[in-house]
A = this chain, B = another copy of it.
C-alpha cells in the first residue's frame, strides 16, 4: 500500500495529464514539468508506481494508469475538491486561494474524515471551480464528466459525446453500426466493439 505524499503527487500528475483516462500514455518529461522536478526523478517514481500496481511503465514510451491507480487518483481528486469546497463555502476563502491548501489537505489519510466532510458539505456534485467531485466509489455523478469509453468502469449505458482522432473509415464503420453523436450505447453492444474504438469514443453516462 505504502502511501506517501510524493507517490500520491506523481499519481495525480499522471491522472491530470492523461485527463483522467487510464488509456492515455503520458511522457515522464511532461510529468516532470507538471511536478516541477527533473525527468530522472519521475522515471524513478514511475517505476515505484509500477511496482505498486498503480501505473504501467513502458520504457522510452511513457506511463499510464492502471485501474487501481485511477481509482486511487480519483480518491485524491475527490478529497482535493471536497476540501476546496469546504475552504470556499465554509471558511470564506476566494476560489483562487484554495488550491495550495487543498493540495496539503488532500494527503490527510482518513476515509472517515472524507465521508463526514462530504456529508457536512451536503454531498456537493462539483467544487468551487465547477469541476465535478468523484463519488466515494470512484465514479462521477451521472450528469458528470465525459470520458473515453475505455475508462468507463463499470461499463454502463452511456451516450456518445464525440470521437477522438476519428479517421474517415473509423467514422463510417461506426455509422454503419448506428453509432453517432448522441446515440446511446448498451453494455452488451460495447463488448462487441473493435478494441480500438474503446480509446476513440468519448462518452458520458446516460441517465437511468
Number of interface residues of A (CB under 8 A): 18
Main secondary structure of the interface of A (DSSP, over half): helix
Q: Give chain B residues whose Cβ lies under 8 Å from the Cβ of A91.
A: 113, 116-117, 120
Digit string of A96-132 for contact with B (CB within 8 Å is 1, else 0)?
A: 0100110011001110110011001000000000000
Asked if A36 CB lies within 8 Å of chain B CBs, one says no
Question: Which chain B residues border A100 with CB–CB below 8 Å?
Answer: 110
Docked Cα-Cα span, A97 to B111, in Å, equals 13
Partner of A116, one of B93, B104, B117: B93
13 example contacts (A-B, Cβ-Cβ < 8 A) are as follows: A87-B113, A90-B120, A91-B113, A91-B117, A91-B120, A93-B112, A97-B112, A101-B108, A101-B110, A101-B113, A104-B109, A104-B110, A105-B108
